[in-house]
Amino acid sequence: MNDIETTFDLIVIGAGSGLDVASAAAEHGLKVAIIERDKMGGTCLNRGCIPTKLLIHSADIIETIKKASVFGINVNGYSVDFDKIMKRVNGITDTDSDNIKDGLKQSENPKLFAGDCKFIGNKRIAIGTNKDEGEQVITAEKILIAAGSKPRIPKIKGLSEVDYITSDEALRLKRQPRILTFIGGGYIACELAHFFGSLGTEIHIIQRNDMLIPNEDKEISQKFTEIFSKKYNVHLGYTAQYISKNTDDVDNDVEESFKVVAKNKSEEILEIDSDQVLVSVGRIPSTASLDLEKTGIKVDEKGFIQVDNYLEANVKGIFALGDIIGKYMFKHNANLEAQYAYNNILHADRKTPVNYAAMPHAIFTSPQVAGVGFTEQELIKKGIDYVKSAYPYIHTGMGEAIEDKEGFVKFLVDSKSRNILGCHIMGTDASILIHEVLVSMRTGDGTTDSITKTIHIHPALSEVVARAAGNFRMG
């Protein structure tokens, strides 16, 4: 069968945040195609923030049960139904994804193309179906690439020969690992370690850095590492050298085990046996399979699409957003960029640069971590004058009520203008508390005055933010 070529006004590659742009453009009257080779909803819904947070809620409940005796509540044991936890999570995400797909199937605009795709010429995209049907070719003057990212796989001897998992497979496991070894100590590894560890899995984390979550403010990373190291087996300063797998037949039941050999700078060897290995050393853009060079799109040395302040690539009319451009690899950032992409695609005469001010993030571990703006080490490196303030949860009424003895809020403020340069929180509901700071930084006057002059409910936990904001000694 010969290739069929169809022309659209806009083609969107990726049905995560790109779907928002596709739907809005279709409502605006454009003829839109959307291409997705996987489940609808993108990484966040299917393999990222939504399923992990559903899992982590189960872990948080267990943590509450374990701590109940502190508050005079005696719990006479509990059991974990791993299968029920996983079925609940995947049932929710699969239903949401299927509902999106069903809705698109019934729609002629935007029109869904399911399958792999690649560029075969200037703004021409081939979508693979099967050998009998051949390829379908579509083209458009305007194209948005929102194909996301995937786990980065390091070059470790033996890794390609064993059945390791990434965060993708971890969310679909049928059986809870008895011993789980993580390669990497960033936020994804720590979130999943919190989940599996709270359920009773023995956790090992091999981290080449001297701290976990090293991209956070140093005081946060140090305290977090200290807390996590008391819960789990954290091996700092080690790099995985070799991974192998053994298969044993025990009473006609085949059992597999993994051996990870790691080494530190002092040439000390670490050997860990576990029944599962999870690789979590970052993510890479999903650009390799798109053949972007066929349409002239430039990428950087890591494969991220290079875009200008308007999210437009070097080829006029081609835009990109989300993980695939590598600016901020968060779903809330992709949603923000989607709003600008929609405007800039439809209104070339009044394009607006993306406003990334006060871009926050959170890590849903125990304790939670949240941050916005510069870290202290970044300010030192840039030579920016600043003053800092920190205040512990436990010195507030609610902090004492919930017995959060480790949590704290840290502000970094410009020593002259009093503008908030950064805020970093570790502790209960950090992901919620950070929002008061975000409002001040993005839509308020940008100073701690917006916080300190606001009436805070006593004894709500938010008082810790207000006290940290008012704890400065300005020069």
Distance CA 151, CA 370 (A): 23
User: Residues of the chain with pLDDT > 70: what percent?
Assistant: 96
Instruction: Tell me the three state secondary structure of residue 310.
Output: coil
For residue 171, pLDDT beyond 70: yes
H or E stretch covering 7: strand 4-13
pLDDT at 103: 87
Q: Which of 372, 378, 428 is nearest to 402 (CA)?
A: 428
pLDDT at 4: 66
DSSP string, 14-47: -SSHHHHHHHHHHHTT--EEEEESS-TTHHHHHH
For residue 250, pLDDT beyond 60: no
- Report the range of poorest mean pLDDT among 37-51, 219-233, 440-454, 460-474: 37-51
User: In angstroms, what CA-CA distances link 289 with 152, 208, 305, 311, 327?
Assistant: 15, 30, 13, 21, 21
Among 28, 347, 395, 458, the one annotated catalytic: 458
Q: Phi and psi of 74, rounded to 5°?
A: -100, 115
Distance CA 233, CA 235 (A): 6
pLDDT at 2: 46
pLDDT at 39: 83
User: Within its chain, how far is the Cα of 153 from the centroid?
Assistant: 17
**What is the rounded average pLDDT for all residues in the chain?**
94
Asked whether 352 and 412 are in contact (CB, 8 A), the reply is no
For residue 475, pLDDT beyond 60: no
For residue 337, pLDDT beyond 70: yes
pLDDT at 410: 98
pTM metric for this prediction: 0.94
Residue 340 buriedness (CB in 10 A; 0-12 / 13-18 / 19+): buried
pLDDT at 279: 98
Q: Which of 112, 135, 98 is nearest to 33 (CA)?
A: 112
Asked whether 145 and 348 are in contact (CB, 8 A), the reply is no
Token pair belonging to 233: 């087996």
pLDDT at 312: 98
For residue 248, pLDDT beyond 80: no
H or E stretch covering 120: strand 117-121
For residues 364-372, average pLDDT: 98
pLDDT at 129: 55
pLDDT at 393: 98
- pLDDT digits 0-9 by tens, 402-432: 999 999 999 999 988 889 999 999 999 999 9
Q: Which residue has the higher pLDDT, 2 or 313?
A: 313
H or E stretch covering 118: strand 117-121
Q: How many CA atoms are closer than 13 Å to the CA of 201, on its beta-carbon side?
A: 24
pLDDT confidence of 382, banded at 50, 70, 90? very high
Distance CA 189, CA 183 (A): 8
Q: Which of 408, 411, 340, 409 is nearest to 373 (CA)?
A: 411
pLDDT at 211: 98
For residue 246, pLDDT beyond 70: yes
For residues 137-153, average pLDDT: 97
pLDDT at 1: 39
DSSP annotation of 171 reads T
Q: How many CA atoms are closer than 13 Å to the CA of 346, on its beta-carbon side?
A: 18
pLDDT at 379: 98
- pLDDT digits 0-9 by tens, 81-114: 999 999 999 999 999 888 988 888 888 899 999 9
- pLDDT digits 0-9 by tens, 23-46: 999 999 999 999 999 888 777 777
Domains present along the chain, CATH in parentheses = 4-151+284-350 (3.50.50.60), 159-281 (3.50.50.60), 360-469 (3.30.390.30)
pLDDT confidence of 473, banded at 50, 70, 90? low
458 is catalytic: yes
pLDDT at 252: 54
Distance CA 108, CA 23 (A): 11
Residue type present at position 470: G
pLDDT at 255: 72
pLDDT at 10: 98
